[in-house]
Chain A
Amino acid sequence: MTAPAAERSAPAAPGAAVRWTDVCAAGDLIPERGVCALVGGEQVAVFLTHDGDLHALENLDPFSGAHVLSRGILGTRGGVPTVASPMYKHVFDLRTGRCLDDPSASVRTFPARLHRGRVEVGR
């Protein structure tokens, strides 16, 4: 990521017009922890990494059926930023939503950005 810290964001889906939803203040996020936000009725887990990058993933852990990914532990695996589901410890790539322990599973990702001191999630 090369954008200045204040405008860092995860990429939006190419070609789609992104509608941004205000989620919380930047200060509401603890580095290396997540929060969950309701975005258009959907549960989205929003994470702030140690490097200051924002990531947004579907909050539903596909292995347990519970909406808990936002409560997982952040880290890295071979340089890839990750979150480990708190339920059965499956690890997901924060950038792609792919499960690194079971490539057949993945969760959706959402664009996320810091905008004027606020955290926003796009759809």
Chain B
Amino acid sequence: MRLVVVGHGPAAHRLVEALRERDTAGAWTVTVIGEEPRTAYDRVALTTHLEGADLAYPPHGDEVEVATGERAVAIDRAARTVTTSAGRVVPYDALVLATGSSPFVPPVEGKDLPGVFVYRTIDDLDAIRAYADGRTTGAVVGGGLLGLEAARAIQGLGLRSGVVEVAPWLMPRQLDEGGGAMLRRHIEGLGMAVHAGTPMARLEAGDDGAVARIVLADGNAVDAEVVVFSAGIRPRDELARGCGLPVGERGGIVVDETCRTEDPAIWAIGECALVGGMVYGLVGPCFSMAEVVADRLLHEHFPEASTAVFEGADLSTKLKLMGVDVASFGDPFAGPETGALGVTYTDPVAGVYKKLVVSDDARTLLGGVLVGDAESYGTLRAYVGGNLPGAPEQMLFGGTEAAGGDLPGATVICSCNNVSAQTIRTAIAGESLTDVPGVKACTKAGTSCGSCVPLVKRILDAELTAAGIEVSKALCEHFAYSRAELFDIVRVRRITSFTQLVEEHGTGRGCDICKPAVASILASLGNGHILAGEQAALQDTNDHFLANLQKNGTYSVVPRVPGGEITPERLIVIGEVARDFGLYTKITGGQRIDLFGARVEQLPEIWRRLVDAGFESGHAYGKALRTVKSCVGSTWCRYGVQDSVAMAIRLELRYRGLRAPHKLKSAVSGCARECAEAQSKDFGVIATENGWNLYLAGNGGMRPRHADLFATDLTDDELITYIDRFLMFYIRTADRLQRTASWLEALDGGLGYLREVIVDDRLGICAELDAAMERHVAAYSDEWRDTLEDPDRLRRFVSFVNAPGTPDPSIEFEVEREQIRPLLPIRPVTGAVSR
């Protein structure tokens, strides 16, 4: 049977993928006709196109025919054919319209002037970028979600930017007046002008005939050489109109709850569909419609009919808009006329606005708005329609550590993939799932935006506990203890070897999970060189060869460059070493130089040259301190207020070689402009007029997290004392491979508790933590220098034990951009084991 899909946006892409995944019999032959010159892409992330992001969705398999740059122009329902702009006549057995929407441009004078754009496709963005070049002012008409994003994008192109919104406040469809006002303060703080509450009169042209300003009804004018309309969408329903299918009064192809039009062979999904009197503009509901139609199509000609229906959608939203958290859930507009009560909290200093709407007995949560701090969004949204576990004001202040166990079954946990709490619970019980990856694979919950994963974890833990299954903290099959517990065992019992630990407190002979973890604990407690004695057998290959394993079995080498400061002579040495050993060189994000392609037997020769020139191990291979990045600071910079380079070097030399549960990164910025990006580091330092601000537990990587401001205006010594204690407390209590960010998130009492431990010495352990760090500093010794001085250890650095001079013949390179790149002899079979 032939399925024709008109349009290739996110909904169409999801439909085709869902069908392909489940149509194992190959019942449907799929043809897609899309008018854009490219295949489907992630329209939600459209703005990132300007930053160079590749938004393309993965292509369908070869069996799906996708025509791009070709528009469907007519449907012949009697003949069941679609005619395209290329003159093709394509027959169908089922037709799905996924034509999306077009931006609404109000009929205002001057709307067709040069310099006026809409914000919908990659082509629109490319046109805006090209036109903006050399111009200085821009404005967006429409202060909704997409409009604000467009305004930020225009600012990113170097233009003075602003927003014109006819409603009295920003994001009127999601936020109440208080939330809109707080958002406005944030937006204005970013240097954008906000004009709300006044309709637009006309667009005026300048001398060159192109648009130059927006004139408002009150006579004021907003200078704008680039004007972008983002004032809502209109469903693209012209094809349906053309063939006599019913459409809504304000547009939209009328479909029933199965997304079928009155013609049983024709369906409509996504923003072009009018279902239950609504047009949905969020991607979540559009995906749900695609899934419903895929299910219906698969069961079309089978005895077992599909019962999938589109049941409407949760329009709750949470997003980070220009760095500001904004969330809206449930019905945030319910007022006293329905007996609803609003509880609000405003902190103008921090820029936070929170509002909960509850029933008149203050027990049932109806909806809410969060601006500036939306951390509690996931939990609060899950309680909409249900009984609050505490007083509303308590919920506002983050007292929301809800047990996932008592959430109503119908609560949608993952709104991207429409997965309810009940679905997750059924999967956990039915499939005997015991971990989050299992739940994700089985239910798809948490696989899109990931914001619901903490909630999924809570439900899982609650279900396991209820089933009498203990939520295991065991490191692996060899130890029934968490890393923190093992750390205490090793420390208190003064254990110095893995053999002693596993024989007295574990089973078997360990594995690649517990051995490196124990090696790290032994190293953190100061047990000599990491390759000494039995410790050598515990180390991961990176620590064993003191270098980083790369995909073809070679290693990379990173000498330490404290604070990123390096003399010309040392730079020349790195260049000479790279040249003489034929290594690929790349500057790292941590202000160092990485040398790739070294074989094991070359590592000692390379390091002899580096050590002779004064370099030390950079520990890029270890779960240890990596770098302390810095900006140039007050020595050179016109704006710097402290010597950030000197502080970065001091910190890097103090903590070099410190073994931790995971890698540690740091940075020091010389002023509030934050050029060193310290707030994305495990410990970040930002200079103030009076000293240093300390930020803790930031993270880049897969799950970025801004560091929390821990203390302000510290002296040099205070700063170092706090960092000493923070690091040692983290090393003692964190789980294996737990970065400081998730450690702090899991720490009972959070940042406040951490302050009590580190500043107020609530646990009475500060003296111990300080002493531990002093021992580390005193015992530091360069691992590579020590290795070069030990002939026994050097003998391990051979490719072949019976042919020490022979290089590994399987390692081959080709040349790309004047440097080597690895040539793999065979294709890998599959990906990594996930643990």
Stretch at the interface among A1-9, A11-19, A67-75, A108-116: A67-75
Contact B799 A36 (CB under 8 A): yes
Q: Which residue of A lies closest to B499 (CB)?
A: A50
Contact B508 A75 (CB under 8 A): yes
**Contacting residues, chain B, for A36 (C-beta < 8 A):** 799-801
| Assembly CA distance A36 to B801 (angstroms) | 6
Stretch at the interface among B113-121, B410-418, B545-553: B545-553
Contact A43 B801 (CB under 8 A): no
**Closest Cβ of chain B: how far from A81's Cβ, in Å?**
8
Q: Does B803 make an interface contact (CB < 8 A)?
A: yes
Q: Does A35 make an interface contact (CB < 8 A)?
A: yes
Q: Which residue of B lies closest to A37 (CB)?
A: B802
Q: Which residue of A lies closest to B800 (CB)?
A: A38
Q: Does B824 make an interface contact (CB < 8 A)?
A: yes
Number of A-B contacts defined by CB within 8 Å: 125
Chain A 79-95: CB-based contact to B (< 8 A → 1; otherwise 0): 10110101111110000
Contact B510 A88 (CB under 8 A): no
Q: Does B511 make an interface contact (CB < 8 A)?
A: yes
Q: Does B130 make an interface contact (CB < 8 A)?
A: no
Q: Does B381 make an interface contact (CB < 8 A)?
A: no
Contact B509 A35 (CB under 8 A): no
Most B CB within 10 A of own CB, among A22, A63, A78? A63
Q: Does A33 make an interface contact (CB < 8 A)?
A: yes
**Contacting residues, chain A, for B542 (C-beta < 8 A):** 86
Stretch at the interface among B52-60, B246-254, B390-398, B827-835: B827-835
Contact A30 B801 (CB under 8 A): no
Contact B828 A65 (CB under 8 A): yes
Contact B828 A73 (CB under 8 A): no
Contact B510 A75 (CB under 8 A): yes
**Contacting residues, chain B, for A62 (C-beta < 8 A):** 829
Contact B802 A77 (CB under 8 A): no
Contact A75 B800 (CB under 8 A): no
**Contacting residues, chain B, for A46 (C-beta < 8 A):** 801
Q: Which of B511, B796, B808, B829 is in CB contact (< 8 Å) with A91? A: B511
| Assembly CA distance A37 to B478 (angstroms) | 31
| Assembly CA distance A49 to B499 (angstroms) | 13
| Assembly CA distance A89 to B799 (angstroms) | 20
Q: Which of A24, A38, A88 is in CB contact (< 8 Å) with B806? A: A38
Chain A 27-42: CB-based contact to B (< 8 A → 1; otherwise 0): 0101111011110000
**Closest Cβ of chain A: how far from B814's Cβ, in Å?**
15
**Closest Cβ of chain A: how far from B806's Cβ, in Å?**
7
| Assembly CA distance A115 to B520 (angstroms) | 36
| Assembly CA distance A68 to B551 (angstroms) | 10
Contact A91 B509 (CB under 8 A): no
Stretch at the interface among B72-80, B349-357, B533-541, B778-786: B533-541
Q: Does B659 make an interface contact (CB < 8 A)?
A: no
Chain B 70-114: CB-based contact to A (< 8 A → 1; otherwise 0): 000000000000000000000000000000000000000000000
Contact B802 A38 (CB under 8 A): yes
Q: Which of B511, B536, B824, B832 is in CB contact (< 8 Å) with A33? A: B536
Contact B810 A73 (CB under 8 A): no
**Closest Cβ of chain B: how far from A29's Cβ, in Å?**
8
Contact B810 A89 (CB under 8 A): no
Contact B824 A65 (CB under 8 A): yes
**Contacting residues, chain B, for A87 (C-beta < 8 A):** 549, 551, 553
**Contacting residues, chain A, for B508 (C-beta < 8 A):** 75-77, 79
Q: Which residue of A lies closest to B801 (CB)?
A: A35
Q: Which residue of A lies closest to B545 (CB)?
A: A71
Say whether, besides A31-B537, A35-B801, A38-B802, A88 and B808 are in contact (CB < 8 Å): no
**Contacting residues, chain A, for B544 (C-beta < 8 A):** 33, 71
Chain B 793-832: CB-based contact to A (< 8 A → 1; otherwise 0): 0011001111100101010000000000000111111111
**Contacting residues, chain B, for A91 (C-beta < 8 A):** 511-512, 833
Contact B511 A82 (CB under 8 A): yes
Chain B 612-645: CB-based contact to A (< 8 A → 1; otherwise 0): 0000000000000000000000000000000000
Q: Which residue of B lies closest to A78 (CB)?
A: B477
Say whether, besides A67-B810, A77-B477, A78-B477, A89 and B833 are in contact (CB < 8 Å): yes
| Assembly CA distance A50 to B545 (angstroms) | 21
**Closest Cβ of chain A: how far from B522's Cβ, in Å?**
15
Q: Does B515 make an interface contact (CB < 8 A)?
A: yes
**Contacting residues, chain A, for B830 (C-beta < 8 A):** 63, 102
Q: Which residue of B lies closest to A49 (CB)?
A: B509
**Contacting residues, chain B, for A77 (C-beta < 8 A):** 477, 508, 511
**Closest Cβ of chain A: how far from B340's Cβ, in Å?**
54
Contact A32 B537 (CB under 8 A): yes
| Assembly CA distance A78 to B476 (angstroms) | 11
CB-CB contacts below 8 Å: B526-578 with A: 534, 536-542, 544-545, 549, 551-553
**Closest Cβ of chain B: how far from A69's Cβ, in Å?**
10
CB-CB contacts below 8 Å: B470-493 with A: 477-478
**Closest Cβ of chain A: how far from B710's Cβ, in Å?**
35
**Contacting residues, chain A, for B539 (C-beta < 8 A):** 73
**Closest Cβ of chain A: how far from B147's Cβ, in Å?**
45
Q: Does B285 make an interface contact (CB < 8 A)?
A: no
Q: Does B516 make an interface contact (CB < 8 A)?
A: yes
Contact A66 B541 (CB under 8 A): no
**Closest Cβ of chain B: how far from A108's Cβ, in Å?**
15
Q: Which residue of A lies closest to B549 (CB)?
A: A86
Contact A66 B552 (CB under 8 A): yes
Say whether, besides A65-B825, A67-B808, A38 and B477 are in contact (CB < 8 Å): no
**Contacting residues, chain B, for A65 (C-beta < 8 A):** 552, 824-828
**Contacting residues, chain A, for B509 (C-beta < 8 A):** 32, 49-50, 74-76, 81
Most B CB within 10 A of own CB, among A24, A30, A62, A91? A30
A-B contacts, 10 listed (Cβ < 8 Å): A21-B802, A30-B536, A33-B536, A43-B808, A46-B801, A65-B825, A86-B541, A87-B551, A102-B829, A102-B830
| Further 13 A-B residue pairs, CB within 8 A, beyond A71-B549, A77-B477 | A24-B802, A31-B537, A33-B536, A37-B800, A37-B802, A38-B800, A46-B801, A62-B829, A64-B828, A73-B511, A73-B539, A75-B508, A84-B511
User: Which residues on B are within 8 Å of A, measured CB to CB?
Assistant: 477-478, 499, 508-512, 514-516, 534, 536-542, 544-545, 549, 551-553, 795-796, 799-803, 806, 808, 810, 824-833, 835
